Amino acid sequence: MVRHYLLNDPRPDLCDDHESWEDLLYCAWRTTGDGPDGLAVPLYVLREGGARLFERGPGLVLRPGDELDEADYQFVRENYLMPHSRRLHAFLGRRQSHDLISDDDLVLPAAKPCPKPEPKLRQGVLL
């Protein structure tokens, strides 16, 4: 059974990276599935906690959000993301695992109100 909710950004209120999250969740689900060993569920959980994607250099960088403490983020990162580090870095356009770790000097942009997104159709599946 496919968990279609995993294909939708659980935080559309965080506009700046909403489309990037929709793409990332779709890529994770499409390539690793929605099972316990895949990327879709841990990425979805991180996003629920406010995780953000930022443009940095040639790709995107994943950072924990304000609603997830650093210890929880590191636990998910080490146990669920790092086993898929090559694939995740390919999705993000990054080549080094340290790009997934939080930077103290990174300023998170304030979330802007988002317009209600139109329903999307991806490969015959209404999202």
Enumerate the domain spans of the chain.
4-103
Cα torsion 99, 101, 106, 107 to 10°: value is 120
**pLDDT tens-digit map of 25-56:** 988 888 888 887 889 999 999 999 999 999 88
Asked if the model's pLDDT at residue 14 lies above 70, the reply is yes
Cα torsion 89, 95, 14, 40 to 10°: value is 10
**pLDDT tens-digit map of 58-107:** 788 888 888 888 899 889 999 999 999 888 888 888 544 444 433 333 33
Q: Quick one: pLDDT at residue 125?
A: 54
CA distance 2 to 57: 34
CA distance 100 to 30: 21
pTM over 0.75: no
